[in-house]
Structure 1
Amino acid sequence: MTQSGRHAQTVIKNANIITIDPRTPKASSLAISDGKFIAIGDNTACDSLIGPDTEVLNLSGKTVLPGFIDAHIHVLNSGIRHVMAADCDLPNIPLIQQALRDRIKETLPGGWIQGFKFDDTKTQEKRFLFKSDLDAVTTEYPIMVAHRAGHIYYLNSTALAAANFDDNTPDPPGGRLGRDPDTGGLNGVVYERAIEPIRFGLIPPETPDIRQKGLITICKMLNQVGLTSVHDARVIQTEFDAYQNGLDNAELTLRVYALMYHPHFEALKNAGIKTGFGNEFLRIGGIKMIADGAIAARTAYISEPYIGSDCDHGILAMTQEEIETNVINMHNAGFQVCIHANGDLTIDMVLDSYMKAQKLNPRTDTRHRIEHCSLVNPDILRKMRESNTIATPFCTYVYHHGEKMPFFGEERLKWMFAQKSFLDYGITSTGATDYPPGPFEPLLGIQSCVTRTDSNGKTWGVEQQISVDEALKIYTLNGAYASFEENIKGSITEGKLADLVILSDDPRTVDPNTIKDIPVERTILGGNTVFEK
């Protein structure tokens, strides 16, 4: 179908267009004008819209999809870390120590040396970092290294002293201080909410220049893999300011749905702002809270102990009363609520709170979310369907974190990252990676959902395999639904925002174990190319 009387800015022809629109699932050409799709059809459908200034792209059979949407990813914070912290995704502890030493010359007096993306299971030593490891780097500066999962941190002696943590300090609510099993003294490992006084009190805030560089860095990284929209999974005030500045300066090349960190809830409510405020580039999303630990860190709060333990059920970061009180207040204020809950025990607590809030104050179309929603069961699935709760499960975890799956066991994996169960129960689930904890590449996430096979060829939870078409919808239209934006993006449909990705091959026809290797040729945002190979 075409529109007469106007010429298009761009026409794509001879393409394998997968629209994710059930009314017109396939097409060969499309036209773009004023940042939106204005025509989609067979190979001649858009010819009348070609004018002297129209850019015509002859794709020779390459595949076109709506721009990918990652519905749970730490965007700006990751970009900032790439600019000012040591990347500790390295094969052994000596290399990690050297990466941290390299940051000393970049650190001002009074500053902290930081590292991120450390993963104990991917090092040769297969162990945590301890304060002795970090003291060997320096005791002149405090050091804080984040586990790739983001829920465990490692401090040197100087950082422990700055936080007033000593051997007699009790575990704080919602957190834990790691201790030497022989002496009982602090070993430098800090779990969950115990790190909050340091992260949000002691570490100096980044400069506006670093935040700007971080934004440019992460936008480039994500555009290169076909991402056009992201749900930033924990946004604080300074980061939202950076997004606004990036938008004003034409440096923001992603559409951002900002899940605001819960301490900002009262200020937003008092300002009369709620979920949905903003525009097609930058929008206030839900309020983000964290109720338990992490899968990659093996601290998710689960009903049965982790494999190899008789008593380790993980960490509960919020009590039932805390969850319920906050949910009711946020629900009543008109917000979408987005709670990180990995373990089945925690998920059930969150669902009970969502259902109680809705019973006390019925609202239409709340679309409350469970971030990660990793371990489910039939009762949880029924509650999610009844309450119209959205799931944002990890999509790249099975592939990337295969070495951690034995901690959960074969039986439990049948109910983890449960995309097939969500589909079967009529629950909306999305594509999500949680980067840094999981790799951010959408094609890797799609492959992992389809094959449930890790990087060593081991399959986990084959019961949760889904088709490529289902995975493509999860990474596009479902992501738009999770931000109340399915009417403006998520499919190649006339009138929607012209966000798309061009791939060199069709994910539906290649060997499923090679989907991650398909090159991204071009990423287009609102009709403008933001990445070209």
Structure 2
Amino acid sequence: MKADKIFINGEVITVDQHNSIAEGVAVQGNRILAVGSTEEVLSYRTADTEIINVNGKSLLPGFNDAHLHLTIYGTNLLGVSCIAPHIKSLDDIFIDLRKKCQETPKGKWVRAWGFKESSLKENRFPSKDELDAISTDHPIVIIRTCNHTSIANSKALEIAGITEQSSNPDGGIIERDSNGQLTGKLIENAHMQLFEYAAYAEDEIRKGMKLASDEFIQAGITSVHDAGAYGDGADSLRIMQQAINAGEVKVRVYALIGSLTNSHEFVEKMVSAGPITGLGDDRFRIGPAKLFTDGSSVGPTIATRQPYSHNQDDYGIIYYSQDELNRILGTAHKKGFQITAHAQGDRAIEMILDCIEAALSEHPREDHRHRIEHAGIASPDLQDRMKKLGVVPIPNPAFMYVNGERYLEYYGDRVQYMYPARDYIDKGIVAAFASDAPVIFLDPMLGIHAAVNRKSTDGQGVGENQCISVLEAIRAYTWNGAYASFEENIKGSIEVGKLADFTILSESILHVDQEKLKDVKIELTMVNGEVLYDRNDLCGKKNPKKGARSLVF
């Protein structure tokens, strides 16, 4: 048993059952051959073994982001970025949109992404008329960072068949001014349905997937749970499999069966087709059936049991009735699927828990690992039900850093149990961390920073009772993600026999000032025993990614 690569003199955070810290790792092919002291792992070397001196830096399992949108992240990179460093105002966005229109054939879509009104000088949305002033020959749409709201120009609305006479779709709003005129703003399901017309071409989607995969690798992410895209989910799955088979997408993918557009249609199609959760291999695997139940935490459009703190008349939006949830996801459970739903508000979480409880009562199943995506306002009574039912929540710790000020405004004291990592750990609930990129920043180090510190961008504490340790945060971003996809026996920790997926950081994560965790960089990323990213040529070879642009987010 001889090693192809041996990493020595490191701080190897194994994330095993005992949270052991080792010094070295030996790799043979795509598997971990040995873990232990530098002396122990060097016993597996030969004249051909590559020896990499980690010099005291942290080596840990590759990050497993349990909820992001691979396709949307990738295709966003083909559009106009509203979070580029030079964007300070609406005028800056308009300038970039005009440039994009000039290089885009008339009639073709021009899209901007990452829009966040509070980050701009004007602190408002643009109007339809302002977008029309840029072009009426191109359909233009600006997508808010939450991916639940957009602004469209007249051409885009015309293509989508949206007029003053159009009715609001179920779970959505077509905004009008006081005179009943369209403003161009589309909220929730109205926004989702626009993308039946604004979809990217297949070659663009595939190009975007490769770009996204490259950036995930640079962020130390080796596995992702893809939470779906706009349009026909079956097409996205097919293109993703083709990109993985062609080696264009290097990260491992656990694909949720869900779409941002009419999610029930895709779920029902897949449930009828026959394949169930778990079909696939260690590169691509079918995940849970997923529905949307409510909206965005910063819209704000999430469904709450009590009104929003800043608006006593607002309780958010619900996509499906309880009977519809029970029927659609209950059938998926009966057929053998893991089931899940996007549920941010406590009312939406309660509904999906009621659905899971009903499904298990009618068709009991051990170790189902049914999930709740985000599970934003998870009050203690809902946590207790998660524990009792064996539910795996998928919280987004970096939301507290990016959106903390808004959460305090919208939800008040409820921030004390938003994305409650401390409570989950203390109650023995396995919660897998996720970014929800491109909704917010991709970087797992920011997620760890947010989970450990629970402060917003301005340094304000936001539910600091939910702070956890660095080691606990690492586990939530690695082993817990593998558990959420039934793959903890092959990845998620650095143990003999598991897949050789790991990342090396720029320093010791256990000794860095915890207020500076977000500044720790990714030094190296390995997937399947292959070094795919080596920022400073740690392996002493020319790095094919050297000089690649930095992460977009």
What is the TM-score when the length of structure 2 is the normalising length?
Answer: 0.92
- Do structure 1's residue 237 and structure 2's residue 234 form an aligned pair? yes
Q: Distance in 2 between matches of 1:427 and 1:523?
A: 29
**2:141 alignment counterpart:** 144
Q: Could you tell me which amino acid in structure 2 is paired with residue 66 of structure 1?
A: P
Match of 2:337 among 335, 338, 350: 335
When structure 1 is superposed on structure 2, of 285-294 and 169-178 the one drifting more is 169-178
Match of 1:298 among 289, 297, 300: 300
Q: Distance in 2 between matches of 1:100 and 1:288?
A: 34
Residues 1:93 and 1:128: Cα distance change in structure 2 (over 3 Å):
same
Match of 1:460 among 459, 462, 469: 462
Give per-residue Cα distances to partners, 1:166-190, cap 9 Å, x unaligned.
233222211111122x323221111
- Do structure 1's residue 527 and structure 2's residue 522 form an aligned pair? no
Maintained 8 Å contact 2:289/2:329: no
Maintained 8 Å contact 1:111/1:204: no
The size of the alignment, in residue pairs, is 524
1:454 shift after superposition: 1.5
Q: How does 1:102-113 map to 2 (within 5 A)?
A: 102-113=99-110
Q: Could you tell me which amino acid in structure 1 is paired with residue 111 of structure 2?
A: Q
Q: Distance in 2 between matches of 1:426 and 1:493?
A: 23
Q: Could you tell me which amino acid in structure 2 is paired with residue 214 of structure 1?
A: G
**2:69 alignment counterpart:** 74
Q: Distance in 2 between matches of 1:409 and 1:195?
A: 24
Q: Distance in 2 between matches of 1:179 and 1:465?
A: 42
Maintained 8 Å contact 2:174/2:187: yes
Match of 1:393 among 392, 395, 400: 395
Equivalent residue of 2:306, what SS?
A: coil
Match of 2:31 among 14, 28, 36: 36
Give per-residue Cα distances to partners, 1:6-41, cap 9 Å, x unaligned.
211111111110100024611111110120101011
When structure 1 is superposed on structure 2, of 243-252 and 45-54 the one drifting more is 243-252
Segments of structure 1 that go 5 or more residues without pairing to the other structure are 1-5
Match of 2:45 among 23, 47, 50: 50
Give per-residue Cα distances to partners, 1:259-304, cap 9 Å, x unaligned.
1224333443344211111111111111221110011221111122
Q: How does 1:164-183 map to 2 (within 5 A)?
A: 164-180=161-177, 182-183=178-179
- Do structure 1's residue 156 and structure 2's residue 153 form an aligned pair? yes
**1:440 alignment counterpart:** 442
1:409 shift after superposition: 4.2
Match of 1:482 among 468, 484, 492: 484
Segments of structure 2 that go 5 or more residues without pairing to the other structure are 536-553
Give per-residue Cα distances to partners, 1:328-369, cap 9 Å, x unaligned.
111111111120000000100110001000100111211111
Maintained 8 Å contact 1:394/1:438: no
Q: How does 1:121-140 map to 2 (within 5 A)?
A: 121-140=118-137
Q: Distance in 2 between matches of 1:276 and 1:399?
A: 34
Maintained 8 Å contact 1:502/1:521: yes
Maintained 8 Å contact 1:498/1:526: yes
1:308 shift after superposition: 2.3
Percent identity for Structure 1 against Structure 2: 34
Q: Distance in 1 between matches of 2:291 and 2:243?
A: 26
Equivalent residue of 1:530, what SS?
A: strand
**2:351 alignment counterpart:** 349
**1:188 alignment counterpart:** 184
Equivalent residue of 1:374, what SS?
A: coil
Equivalent residue of 1:139, what SS?
A: coil
Q: Could you tell me which amino acid in structure 1 is paired with residue 191 of structure 2?
A: I
Q: Distance in 2 between matches of 1:495 and 1:130?
A: 57
Q: Could you tell me which amino acid in structure 1 is paired with residue 183 of structure 2?
A: N
Q: Could you tell me which amino acid in structure 2 is paired with residue 43 of structure 1?
A: T
Give per-residue Cα distances to partners, 1:293-333, cap 9 Å, x unaligned.
01122111112222321201111122222211111111111
Maintained 8 Å contact 1:88/1:99: no
When structure 1 is superposed on structure 2, of 429-438 and 503-512 the one drifting more is 503-512
Q: Could you tell me which amino acid in structure 1 is paired with residue 532 of structure 2?
A: V
Maintained 8 Å contact 1:39/1:46: yes
Give per-residue Cα distances to partners, 1:129-160, cap 9 Å, x unaligned.
22122112211222122110011111112222
Q: Distance in 2 between matches of 1:410 and 1:465?
A: 18
Q: Could you tell me which amino acid in structure 2 is paired with residue 508 of structure 1?
A: L
**1:206 alignment counterpart:** 201
1:401 shift after superposition: 2.0
Q: Distance in 2 between matches of 1:318 and 1:278?
A: 30
Residues 1:287 and 1:507: Cα distance change in structure 2 (over 3 Å):
same
Q: Distance in 1 between matches of 2:36 and 2:428?
A: 30
1:212 shift after superposition: 2.6
- Do structure 1's residue 424 and structure 2's residue 426 form an aligned pair? yes
Q: Could you tell me which amino acid in structure 2 is paired with residue 153 of structure 1?
A: S
Q: Distance in 1 between matches of 2:100 and 2:237?
A: 27
When structure 1 is superposed on structure 2, of 443-452 and 421-430 the one drifting more is 421-430
Maintained 8 Å contact 2:309/2:412: no
When structure 1 is superposed on structure 2, of 317-326 and 510-519 the one drifting more is 317-326
Residues 1:101 and 1:203: Cα distance change in structure 2 (over 3 Å):
same
Maintained 8 Å contact 1:192/1:317: no
Match of 1:494 among 489, 493, 496: 496
Q: Distance in 1 between matches of 2:460 and 2:188?
A: 30
1:205 shift after superposition: 3.9
When structure 1 is superposed on structure 2, of 103-112 and 336-345 the one drifting more is 103-112
- Do structure 1's residue 259 and structure 2's residue 260 form an aligned pair? no
Maintained 8 Å contact 1:116/1:145: yes
Q: Distance in 2 between matches of 1:77 and 1:446?
A: 23
1:506 shift after superposition: 2.1
Q: Could you tell me which amino acid in structure 2 is paired with residue 116 of structure 1?
A: W
When structure 1 is superposed on structure 2, of 316-325 and 397-406 the one drifting more is 397-406
Equivalent residue of 1:134, what SS?
A: helix
Maintained 8 Å contact 2:380/2:417: no
CA RMSD of aligned residues (A): 1.5
**2:453 alignment counterpart:** 451
Q: Distance in 2 between matches of 1:495 and 1:150?
A: 40
Q: Distance in 2 between matches of 1:513 and 1:217?
A: 31
Give per-residue Cα distances to partners, 1:392-423, cap 9 Å, x unaligned.
11121111223322333441110111111111
Q: Could you tell me which amino acid in structure 2 is paired with residue 94 of structure 1?
A: D
Q: Distance in 2 between matches of 1:234 and 1:47?
A: 43
Q: Distance in 2 between matches of 1:270 and 1:349?
A: 24
Q: Distance in 2 between matches of 1:206 and 1:115?
A: 16
1:204 shift after superposition: 4.6
**1:3 alignment counterpart:** none
Q: Distance in 2 between matches of 1:268 and 1:526?
A: 29
Q: Could you tell me which amino acid in structure 2 is paired with residue 128 of structure 1?
A: F
Q: Distance in 2 between matches of 1:400 and 1:299?
A: 17
Q: Distance in 1 between matches of 2:336 and 2:398?
A: 32
Residues 1:382 and 1:270: Cα distance change in structure 2 (over 3 Å):
same
**1:473 alignment counterpart:** 475
Match of 1:222 among 209, 212, 216: 216
Equivalent residue of 1:49, what SS?
A: coil
Q: Distance in 2 between matches of 1:460 and 1:266?
A: 39
